[in-house]
Each structure stands twice: as structure tokens, then as C-alpha cells.
Structure 1
Amino acid sequence: MNTVLDEVTSENMDAQHVRRRVEDWEERLNGLFGAIDEWLPDGWEARRGAPVVMHEKLMRKFGVDAKPIPTLELLGHAGEIVRFRPHALWIVGNNGRVDVSANGHRHVIVDMAENFAEPDWQVASADRRCDRESVTGDWLRRLLR
């Protein structure tokens, strides 16, 4: 089950697989948030925001308990706040989505990698989702300007 579409249409899906995917999602989010923290320019700090409760349809279907998932907030020296909030794991066409709100603008980060592969984080403005670029330190600096 290499992609979300393969996964959600498979007859071999079970609770153990769903739990593994949720754990993998949390690990990937922690890796993304750690990279963002490392890329922060001077005058900004990162802190964990209030977790969101993840209890997606496949989790409920297979009796997998809801799980708190981390969020990230970036705080600027002038009071700016940028929020990274996981939206969903099972999204056909990608391997999870994180919503970003910054300065009144919304962005969407998606992992374009196959399931259980090295993440390929891509970001786009919420109103131009097909116009993606890699999530990098350069992208973050432009976002925080």
C-alpha cells in the first residue's frame, strides 16, 4: 500500500496498519517542525501550540483511539504569530496535510511522498494549491517577512 488511494481501497487494511500510519504521521510532523525550528531567523522563536485531536474516519472504522497531534507556533519579535496545524493524514493525492496561517494568508503543506517513505514536504498558497514549492529555509524566511 504505497499511496493513500491504494491504502483506502485495500482489503488488507487493519487497525495495526492504521496505528502505524498515525505514528508515522506524528514522527513526520515532529521532523518538519524540528526543521522549521532550525531554519528560524533571528527575532523568531518556535513553541509547541495546543495539540489537535486526530480521529479520522479510518481510525474510527478500525477502532483506533483518538490521538493528540502536535501543532507549532512561530512568534515574531513584533508580536507576529504563524501557526502550523495538521489538517488530515488520509488525503488522496498526498501523504498528509498541514495548514499554515501567517499574516492573514493561508498556506497548505503536503507530503508528496509515498506511505512510509522519506517525506517530500511541498507548500502552496491555499488559493493556488497546484503552484507548489519545496518547504525549505528560504521558503520560511520569505513567509516570515
Structure 2
Amino acid sequence: MKDQIIDKEHIELRVSDWKKRIEDLYTMMSFWLDGSKYVVRKGSKITMYESLMQNFGVPPTQIDTIDILDRRLYVLSVKPKGLWIIGANGRVDLLSITNQYILVDTAEQFKEPKWIIYYEGRKKHTRLDKQSFLKILNNSL
């Protein structure tokens, strides 16, 4: 975005947008898993208080996480990592017992998210869709 003024209001809008994108991501993941063997459970909230928030006097906020289980066995945790990421519009970590995946929104600010999954030590990537998400859960991506 050209000539955009970065002020407290802008930071608050970005934080609000980030929280909405995260909730929409969780809703999409839940929809993809509906009727499958997997269960989505709300995880513990994490505090978001990034440096730009601090610099502009925006108070900390709580952001949801989710855990995905195969019946009662833990499979994956989905944890927002940060909004202000160089070259991206936010990062979410997908953590399993054996692997870590990095989910990055490559869309412009305030636009429809374009989620990309990085894996194998960031050497490979693919677009997030139902198929790639299920491959992560089945440990085959």
C-alpha cells in the first residue's frame, strides 16, 4: 500500500484484521475436517504484543489457538506466531510431535488471505487447501 500512514489506528486495524483472518482459518480447517476422524479443540490463548503494538501504545490482546486430535490423540497444534513478518502478512506455526510447518499469508494487507505452507526446513512449499492440510495431518506432506 502506497503512502500509508502508520499510526495507532492503523496498528489496531491490522491487529483486528489478523485476529479475523486467524478465526477464519480455524473455521476453514474445522470445515475441512467435518465428518473425518479428526476433532478440532480450542487450545490455550496466547498473548499478542508485538513491537509495533508496543511502539504505538496498542495494548496486548489474546489470540486463540487450536489443537487437532485423532479421537483423543494429539496430532497438531495451530499457533499464530506473528503478524509483522518480513515479506508476509502474518505467520502461523503448525506443530506436530514429529514436524513443524510454517503457514504464511502472502496476500497484501486487508486482502483475502493467500496461505502458503512451508515444510522440510522451508525448502518446499505449497498452497494451503483441504488436500495439503489433510496430508499434514496424515504426516505425508
Q: Same fold (TM over 0.5)?
A: yes
1:126–1:72 distance in 2 versus 1, CA, 3 Å: farther
Q: 1:83 aligns with which of 61, 68, 77?
A: 77
Q: What CA RMSD, in Å, does the superposition of the two structures yield over aligned residues?
A: 1.6
Larger relative contact order (Cα-Cα within 8 Å, sequence gap ≥ 6): 1
* DSSP 3-state at the match of 2:16: helix
- Decide whether the 8 Å contact of 1:87 with 1:98 is kept in 2: yes
Q: Is the 8 A contact 2:92 2:103 kept in 1?
A: yes
Counterpart of 1:46 in structure 2 is: 40
Residue aligning to 2:103: 109
TM-score, scaled relative to structure 1: 0.88
Q: Which runs of 5+ in 1 are unaligned?
A: none
CA contact (8 A) 1:102 1:143 kept: no
* Equivalent of residue 11 in structure 2, options 3, 6, 18: 18
Q: State whether residues 47 and 74 of structure 1, in contact with CA within 8 Å, keep that contact through their aligned partners in structure 2.
A: yes
Taking a change above 3 Å as real, the CA distance of residues 54 and 31 of structure 1, as seen in their structure-2 partners, is same
Q: CA contact under 8 A between 1:108 and 1:126: conserved in structure 2?
A: no
Q: CA deviation at 1:92?
A: 1.1
Post-superposition, which runs of at least 4 consecutive aligned residues in structure 1 deviate over 3 A? Answer: none
Aligned residues: 137
Task: Say if 2:89 and 2:105, in contact at 8 Å, map to a contact too.
Answer: yes
Distance in 2 of aligned mates of 1:109 and 1:52:
17
DSSP-derived class of the 2:117 partner: strand
Give the letter for the 1:83 counterpart.
S
Superposed displacement of residue 46, structure 1? 0.4
Identity of aligned residues (%): 32
Distance change >3 Å, CA 23–CA 97, structure 1 → 2: same
Q: Please give the alpha-carbon distance, in whole angstroms, between the structure 1 residues aligned to 2:59 and 2:72.
A: 40
2:130 aligned residue: 137
User: How far did residue 126 of structure 1 move?
Assistant: 5.7
Structure 2 residues not aligned, in runs of 5+: none
